[in-house]
Amino acid sequence: MPELPEVESIARALRRALAGRRCTGLQVRFAGVLQPSPAAVRRTMVGSTLIAVERLGKYLILTFDGRQPGHVLLHLRMTGQIFLQEGYRPDRHVHLSLRFGDCTVHYRDIRKFGRWTAVGPDWRERELAHIGPDMLAVRFASWLPRVAQRRAPLKSVLLDQQVAAGLGNIYADETLFRAGVHPLTEPAACDAATLQRVLREAKAVLRLALRHGGTTFLNFTDFNGKPGRFRQRLQVYGRAGQPCRRCTTPIERLVVGGRSTCFCRACQPDLHESSGSVRQVQ
């Protein structure tokens, strides 16, 4: 699933290529990606000018200024791609093609889970009420009360989009490795300095990934069809059984909250193990 760096890369590219341009056409090949209906999305976009592209967590927010000003929320979900490539021939997974004059942007989604949703003026309260502050923008003073007393594993807390939005499985693992914290550690067992380090490293790894165009494992490509380059810099994610790049200890894998989790036992010691207590992993 595209996470914050991948979605932010697309947001920046959309601003550069399309901001201030009028949407002149929308070709729909699979209507299931449009909500609440293809007609509603078409009314919002076609004939209107794209005046702003925002991002909150993993959502893109497209603002159009036309006879009926409105917004379209785009969530790429697992395999959504949006890109512009000169001479591109849409395959069967391209569900939408948007024309902005002489420029055509394609939306491709193998799993068909992504959604383009036309929303009304109260869209923030109605559509994104379940989303917390953006991970890159949240401040420690407001983030700390959200996590300090939690008894769930820190890995699960980092993935909770109501706490802070944008961090997914890849960057949660990388954050905890950089912070030297075991993924099963409970926030309630951490002091403020440790939690501050976790938040700092979360922001740092997101910014680093953004500079390298995000991470590609399966389907993600940027606006120009190029894969993300951050995969070569991953320290633990997807590297189970391989030596830690820092200490050569084999990277281990466990499941936390139903999500595959990779970590280094030496660089991320388990406080329960060091105290001699026994813990169980669900």
- Residue 185 to residues 177, 182, 262: CA-CA distances in angstroms? 12, 5, 14
Q: Are residues 69 and 191 in the same domain?
A: no
CATH of the domain at 117: 3.20.190.10
In the block, which residue shows the tokens 């917390």? 132
Is 235 among the domain residues?
A: yes
Q: Are residues 74 and 190 in the same domain?
A: no
Q: Are residues 154 and 263 in the same domain?
A: yes
Q: Which of 19, 36, 21 is nearest to 119 (CA)?
A: 36
Q: Are residues 22 and 100 in the same domain?
A: yes
Q: Are residues 145 and 224 in the same domain?
A: yes
The reported pLDDT for the residue numbered 273 is 63
Q: Are residues 85 and 166 in the same domain?
A: no
Is 279 among the domain residues?
A: no
Is 132 among the domain residues?
A: no
Digit-by-digit pLDDT tens for the chain (282 residues) are 678 888 898 899 899 999 999 999 999 999 999 999 999 999 999 999 999 999 999 999 999 997 666 999 999 998 898 888 777 788 999 999 999 999 999 999 999 999 999 998 788 888 898 999 999 999 999 999 999 999 999 999 999 999 999 999 999 999 999 999 999 999 999 999 999 999 999 999 999 988 877 654 444 455 555 655 677 789 999 999 999 999 999 999 999 999 999 999 999 999 766 444 434 444
Q: Are residues 169 and 104 in the same domain?
A: no
Q: Are residues 119 and 146 in the same domain?
A: no
- Among residues 104, 127, 150, the one where a domain terminates is 127
Q: Are residues 35 and 99 in the same domain?
A: yes
In the block, which residue shows the tokens 């009314």? 43
Quick check: 58 and 65 in contact, CB under 8 A?
no
In DSSP notation, the chain reads ---HHHHHHHHHHHHHHHTTPBP-EEEES-GGGEES-HHHHHHHHTTSEEEEEEEETTEEEEEEESSS-EEEEEE-TTTEEEE--TT----TTEEEEEEETTEEEEEEESS---EEEEE-TTHHHHHSTT--SBTTT--HHHHHHHHTT--S-HHHHHH-TTTSBS--HHHHHHHHHHHT--TT--GGGS-HHHHHHHHHHHHHHHHHHHHTT-B-SSS---TTSPPPBGGGG-SSTT-TTSBPTTT-PBPEEEEETTEEEEE-TTTS--HHHHTT------
pTM for the model stands at 0.87
Name the domain count of the chain: 2
Q: What domain range is 189 assigned to?
A: 140-274
The reported pLDDT for the residue numbered 69 is 64
The reported pLDDT for the residue numbered 281 is 44
Q: Which of 118, 120, 127, 121 is nearest to 43 (CA)?
A: 118
Q: Are residues 269 and 152 in the same domain?
A: yes
Q: Which of 229, 221, 210 is nearest to 83 (CA)?
A: 221
Beta bridge partners of residue 63, listed in sequence order: 52, 71
Q: Which of 93, 118, 94 is nearest to 106 (CA)?
A: 94
Quick check: 185 and 206 in contact, CB under 8 A?
no
Q: Which residues of 147-160 are buried (b: 16+ CB within 10 A; e: fewer)?
A: beebebbbbbbbbb
Q: Which residues are catalytic?
A: 2-3, 58, 259
Quick check: 147 and 195 in contact, CB under 8 A?
yes
